[in-house]
Amino acid sequence: AWLRYAPLPCSLSRHHSLPESIIALNSTTTSPVYSAGQELHKGLLGIFGKNLTVSTSLPSGKPPSKAVVVGTVAAFGKSSGVGHDVASALEPDGFWLEVKGSMVTIVGQNERGALYGAFQYLSLLARADFSDVAFVSNPAAPVRWTNEWDNLDGSIEHQYGGPGIWFQGGHVVDDLTRAGQYARLLSSVGINAVIVNNVNADANILTDANMQGLGRLADAFRPYGVQLGIALNFASPQSIGGLSTFDPLDPGVIQFWTDITDKLYQHVPDLAGYLVKANSEGQPGPLTYNRTLADGANLFARPLQAHGGVLMFRAFVYNNNLNESDWKADRANAAVQFFDGLDGKFEENVVVQVKYGPIDFQVREPTSPLFAHLSRTNAAIELEVAQEYLGQQCHLVYLAPLWKTVLDFDLRVDGRPSLVRDIVTGRRFKRPLGGFAGVANVGTHPTWLGSHLATANLYAFGRLAWDPSQTAEGLLDEWVVLTFGHDRHLRSTLSQMALESWPMYENYTGNLGIQTLTDILYTHYGPNPASMDNNGWGQWTRADAHGIGMDRTVSNGTGFAGQYPPEVAAMYESLHTVPDELLLWFHHVPYTQRLRTTGETVIQHFYNAHYAGAETAATFPARWASLRGKVDSDRYDAVLRRLIYQAGHAIVWRDAINEFYRNKSSIEDERGRVGHH
């Protein structure tokens, strides 16, 4: 992926001074500071061919010069020049990086921070940035976790990069080398924990053998400062604990979870915490016993408190047997309704994990309004790195621009600036906890995720979790250079393609906020607009012969628009102010409704957008082919194959969707285009 440490081209590697030795202070072999020393060695060797010695203490007598010294504030001690101002500016996991010619100082607030600082320094070098710098970098939020939907048999729910790398046959595998390498990759972008099993959790994760296996897995992650967490099945007290109930207020159930938690911490002393999906898509939960979701979350949070663990509680709670004949039924309403009255009722170590939009990782969704309703509760945003509805790694879709539309959205809570990113980092409501969860689904495929270009999304996820104010463009350029090199043509070509990819995908799939229009019944892949109605899942378009779109207004529809704070609600409620890209999310309109920005009718926009999307996709293979010789042939060929496929699939999409709505609406494309003929 991006940790190649490829040699710099000569033109870039001249005229600079580099350290002559590496000092990783007080490091034992399993510590992140030790890993930092190893990483610096690997990086300087790869990029510059410099094979430096790594030692673990400062030379006695005079302070080192021409060295890179990495350690924690504590290890540097008072004497060696870490100023009080630096030490006090550092937050947990943060670091200080100072490059002064060939003397480099990296100070972590903790061991993990020191490692992050080393990765940051190496990233600068790999991008040929040799400037002197001196800065503090702190993470925006403490929760920067991936979620991996691994089943214990080794399969993954939504598996696009091969089977999982740590479970097989019901157990944790013996060889955890690759798990350790994955931790290295995650740590290099600041991710600090991994939920290792599927949210649709198997209670057998809690058997003695699996607890031992989890202990080994945590050992594999630990040198990179990555903690392990697990997803739990709410009904475990009954299914594996021999109890007759899983009622969260039952003393026996409380004791069960206390015992399980204490036992787990014996195996994994630094367990990050738990993730719980309750009362969603058939999963058990507290509602079975008429208890609240807060009762359910607190059940796990309390025993975790003794150990410093965090309970991530998912907001993805909804009824999947909705009846479309009810005009007011709306799955999008579910989260705010289910959490109504619960703000402030959660323990301090609970974080409510909210998908970015109210439905399910669609190509375009408005920000989940639940973020505006949790001012006395910690919140995290859930993003999906795995491209479940977005081409499943067979299509190039760079997701950071989509995520940024949500992170940078201003919910105007109480009429004040309330960016989603400031809510999830805890800033807006002064919450102690919060952050980012990214569903990654890493697998055995050599690219980790299933395609070379998809790793841009994992990179961007980690970097945005560290600092969500960064731009999608800036992060992309970093990733391109680190992953493919410095060539200017390559840099601009690949970046441009990636930046066009999400709008393009939206163009040839589902436009104007109608969702992805993919098959939602089985595969979540390929066009199937018919599946988006008459299903219990509540992912509807309400397309008929006359019109299309969900009426989510307060005045005439499901009322969803009214879940936003007043300024935002008013914008979505009115046809005069709703943004075109969300028109059909909020309004049911005739196919002949005109868009505010272009004046096109809705149906003509569908036709035009699908042609435009497919036309852009058709340019990708040739644009990539212009990079021949600038990328090694393995990656060149693999990416080219995917892009040729994508261009073809975009035509399939275009024709399927256009034909479907031409039939529904009986309105012809005014430009007379009919399919591929």
Which positions are annotated as active-site residues? 281, 360, 388
Shortest Cβ 404–ligand GCU spacing (Å) = 21
Size of the residue set binding ligand GCU (CB under 6 A): 7
Task: Out of 277, 412, 486, 587, point to the residue binding ligand GCU (CB under 6 A).
Answer: 277
360 near ligand GCU, judged by CB under 6 A = yes
Shortest Cβ 165–ligand GCU spacing (Å) = 19
Shortest Cβ 232–ligand GCU spacing (Å) = 14
Burial label for 243, CB within 10 Å (0-12, 13-18, 19+), is middle
Task: Out of 118, 199, 464, 550, point to the residue binding ligand GCU (CB under 6 A).
Answer: 199
Contact 150, 156 (CB under 8 A): yes
477 near ligand GCU, judged by CB under 6 A = no
580 near ligand GCU, judged by CB under 6 A = no
Contact 437, 382 (CB under 8 A): yes
Shortest Cβ 384–ligand GCU spacing (Å) = 8
Residues 6+ apart with CB under 8 A from 427: none
Q: Among the residues of 293-399, which ranges form H helices?
A: 293-305, 334-338
Cα separation, 379 vs 285, in Å, equals 20
Nearer Cβ to ligand GCU, position 483 or 539? 539
Contact 351, 433 (CB under 8 A): yes
Shortest Cβ 243–ligand GCU spacing (Å) = 25
Cα-Cα-Cα-Cα torsion 573, 575, 577, 579, nearest 10 degrees, comes to: 100
Would you list the DSSP string of 75-136?
HHTTTTS--HHHHHH--TT-EEEEEETTEEEEEESSHHHHHHHHHHHHHHHHTT----EEEE
Burial label for 343, CB within 10 Å (0-12, 13-18, 19+), is middle
Nearer Cβ to ligand GCU, position 382 or 500? 382
Site string for ligand GCU, 289-318 (x = CB under 6 A): ---------------------------x--
Shortest Cβ 519–ligand GCU spacing (Å) = 11
Checking phi first, is residue 119 left (phi over 0); if not, alpha (psi -120 to 50) or beta? alpha
138 near ligand GCU, judged by CB under 6 A = no
Residues 6+ apart with CB under 8 A from 235: 203, 246, 284
The first and second tokens of residue 178, run together, are 């690759």
Residues 316-335 that bind ligand GCU (CB under 6 A): 316
157 near ligand GCU, judged by CB under 6 A = yes
Q: Across-strand partners of 380?
A: 353, 435
Residues 421-460 that bind ligand GCU (CB under 6 A): none
Q: Which helix (H) or strand (E) element contains residue 380?
A: strand 378-384
Nearer Cβ to ligand GCU, position 112 or 524? 524
Residues 6+ apart with CB under 8 A from 557: 327, 328, 330, 550, 551, 586, 587, 588
Nearer Cβ to ligand GCU, position 105 or 159? 159
Nearer Cβ to ligand GCU, position 195 or 454? 195
55 near ligand GCU, judged by CB under 6 A = no
Nearer Cβ to ligand GCU, position 382 or 551? 382
The residue count of the chain comes to 677
Q: Among the residues of 416-487, which ranges form H helices?
A: 420-424, 455-466, 472-484
Report which of 615, 327, 331, 363 is spatially closest to residue 512, judged by C-alpha positions: 363
Cα separation, 119 vs 127, in Å, equals 12
Nearer Cβ to ligand GCU, position 385 or 578? 385
Shortest Cβ 559–ligand GCU spacing (Å) = 23
Residues 543-572 that bind ligand GCU (CB under 6 A): none
Site string for ligand GCU, 229-268 (x = CB under 6 A): ----------------------------------------
Shortest Cβ 149–ligand GCU spacing (Å) = 7
200 near ligand GCU, judged by CB under 6 A = yes
Nearer Cβ to ligand GCU, position 368 or 495? 368
Nearer Cβ to ligand GCU, position 198 or 616? 198
First to last CA, the chain: 41
Where along the sequence are the contacts to ligand GCU (CB under 6 A)?
157-158, 199-200, 277, 316, 360
